Chains A and B, each alone.
Chain A
């Protein structure tokens, strides 16, 4: 089929002025990095639609549930994807989530800081950690894999040690009461579009509790952030000069430097981006749970990278998309929640995750060959 369409294509090329030949929309779409993840998402939804269509998975409550999980992963996956396009890895994302969590909780609970100040403090620490990761990679020329692996251990260890030193425990509860009346905490802790859900409930369009209030009360903040970040990241990558520099830095460091792209600065800023995304993730989860846990975010860096890879990012850099990573996160979030609605044992989720990643890498590799081979 593809062979046939190819030959038709080439015939068409010769029959008219080659310079005027328009590439079809379909072909442009086929060359996009997010295609695989988009297709994967559709397949996943079809699968659960058949297997778990009548179980409540796709009710308002169930949908928000898997969207929330996807969105949380998506927030870090998008930042990881941008960094990967820029040619580097960050394995310290998961540890940064734990570290950011206690950076919020300890000042707020033990030092009496207002919550907003603790949140600002956590983001400031994220900028520092990201900068440190970045400058180390750029200055030493060491693989970011090694540098951020070291940071993975350092941050997790420091998080544990500091928390135990100050609190004597590994968890810091008691944050929930601080959220009300805080000037910025609502950004990470409030469900939105509540009126919509109340209205839908009153129209009996979504399921209700026994007291008549809707089961799903609003869109969780993670989903709003996730959508916002996807839009912003896509805009940056596709529409700005900085976006072009990210592709260039990841595609060919030496070439990009030779034509005046500030490769070092670009990479450092991307490392700051992943650390800040991890902190955003921590803010949302810590305020939602009302407590910080030193082990929060463990292994999240690998899930983020897996989502980015499924989303079409090449491990060698220079190619990928934020929308792809968003779909990658959606696949993982949907499957990890959807599996509860099926008869399948949840232990199989990790098997699925690994298999998806393998398929994605093979597929991406094929795409890269297609994109870079001479005609």
Chain B
């Protein structure tokens, strides 16, 4: 068995003439957080959808625990333990924490045809799980709408883990959050990884990614610029790689030139 929990080898995806992804290779180990960085339009969304079974890759293979797998649908991916938490989180703000936590997978009790949603059990599990992350839910029957953005993100992640995720794909989990909230979520992500999950963290925020990631893959215009371990990188190097360093360097030179001209 390979030590990589999940591998993506040479993934390509075409939409008509557009090459959305070309030859992207990534590996994530158990207990590791791999950050997938890229500017807008770099192909992050397409890659997530390919990883989570929404799109089928046109080239390349997906290997889970040493075995080659093909996903035909998001449900296939989910069944193999690959859970994706999208930006919209799939939470209904008018419904309670418990009802959201178990939405679509409600525990039941009772005799056939008169089965009831075991709310007591669900409440206990939801409260316990949220408590483990240190999120105080005063009442599991309170509406999700009353929770903060960070708490909602943690709820969505905690739900994915509870329902058996081995690989957790997180789409911009901190993008809509303030500094404090973001740090709460990042802390939770680290904790989740330390419990043996492989986490793929998609973000365009280097400052959020760098402290928590073990390895970093940078996407640019549909291609991977490579995967780097943390020890081989600095924050600045990562930042410049992500923004297309050359372009920024060029911009800097141009600005200096303009500055010089205007001073004269």
Residues of A within 8 A of B (CB): 13, 18-19, 21-23, 28, 31, 239-241, 243-245, 247-248, 251-252, 254-256, 258-261, 314, 318-319, 368, 371-375
Contacts and interface: CB of A to CB of B under 8 A. Distances in A.
Nearest to B85: A258
B8 interface: no
A130 to B, nearest CB: 21
Contacts of A243: 117
A314 B99 CA distance: 18
Contacts of B141: 28
B117 A239 contact: yes
A372 B93 CA distance: 6
A142 to B, nearest CB: 23
B104 A261 contact: yes
B104 A240 contact: no
Contacts of A258: 74, 86, 90
Given A240-B115, A241-B106, A374-B148, A254 B99 contact: no
Interface of B: 74-75, 86, 88-95, 99, 102-106, 108, 115-117, 119, 131, 136-139, 141-143, 145-149
A239 B89 contact: no
Given A23-B139, A23-B142, A255 B92 contact: yes
Most chain B CB within 10 A, of A243, A255, A371, is at A255
Given A247-B94, A248-B104, A256-B103, A373 B146 contact: yes
A260 B104 contact: yes
B104 A245 contact: yes
17 contacts: A19-B137, A240-B116, A241-B106, A241-B115, A244-B103, A248-B92, A248-B95, A252-B92, A255-B89, A256-B90, A256-B104, A258-B74, A258-B90, A259-B105, A261-B104, A318-B95, A319-B94
Query: Which of A19, A31, A259, A371 has the most chain B CB atoms closer than 10 A to its own CB?
Result: A259
The 5 closest A-B pairs by CB, nearest first: A372-B145, A251-B92, A255-B90, A260-B104, A259-B104
Q: Which secondary structure characterizes the binding site on chain B?
A: loop
B111 to A, nearest CB: 13
B103 A261 contact: yes
Given A244-B99, A256-B103, A261-B104, A372 B90 contact: no
A18 B137 CA distance: 8
A251 B93 CA distance: 8
Contact of B146 (A251, A256, A372): A372
Contacts of A252: 90-93
A156 B9 CA distance: 61
A259 B145 contact: no
A239 B106 CA distance: 11
Contacts of B106: 241, 244
A265 to B, nearest CB: 12
A163 B26 CA distance: 70
- Residue of A240, A251, A256, A314 contacting most chain B CB atoms (<10 Å): A251
Contacts of A371: 94, 143, 145-146
B94 A318 contact: yes
Contacts of A318: 92, 94-95
Contacts of A256: 90, 92, 103-104
Given A13-B138, A244-B117, 16 more contacts: A18-B138, A19-B131, A19-B137, A23-B142, A243-B117, A244-B95, A248-B95, A248-B103, A251-B92, A254-B88, A256-B104, A319-B94, A372-B145, A373-B145, A373-B146, A375-B147
B88 to A, nearest CB: 6
B99 A247 contact: yes
Contacts of A368: 94
Contacts of A314: 94
B147 A259 contact: no
Nearest to A371: B143
B147 A374 contact: yes
Nearest to B148: A374
Contacts of A19: 131, 136-138
A375 B138 CA distance: 12
Contacts of B88: 254-255
Interface centre among B88, B93, B105 (most CB of A within 10 A): B93
A372 B92 CA distance: 10
Nearest to A255: B90
A241 B143 contact: no
A217 B146 CA distance: 51
A368 B145 CA distance: 10
Nearest to A19: B136
Contact of A254 (B90, B103, B143): B90
